[in-house]
Copies of this chain bind each other. A is one copy, B any other.
């Protein structure tokens, strides 16, 4: 798969060059952070192998590698929440990409039905740590979309 891209070169080329040479880890993946192109909200973190990255660039829709299902994953194929990619960026050492997207369908990115995956704030006060959920409601019912609760 990684033959789709040239191999990473020296630091100067990796950091300053104009050739995309993704620095896939030993698992063959780079990390992808996905934000809403309009609001800037971080919607999800996911992973891409060479095939997923190539398809994303070529089709303008978000493709990933599902580590749990061990398969190529066209985001939204089941739920209708396909991601239209407005921009893709790569980081200094080319082991991470940043996608700015617009989400179709119900507009939810998280499998829980929430708009994004980061729907809880970490609050540390008085020596304790707790999570505080957003008051937003899910945009779809996961049981209806996926048929059964996801493990």
Contact = CB atoms under 8 A, between A and B. Distances in A.
> Copies of this chain, how many?
2
B91 A18 contact: no
A38 to B, nearest CB: 10
A117 B91 contact: yes
A150 B93 CA distance: 11
Nearest to A121: B89
A88 to B, nearest CB: 4
Interface in A59-113: 87-92, 96-98, 110-112
A115 B109 CA distance: 28
A143 interface: no
The 4 A-B pairs of least Cβ separation, nearest first, read A40-B40, A89-B118, A91-B117, A57-B124
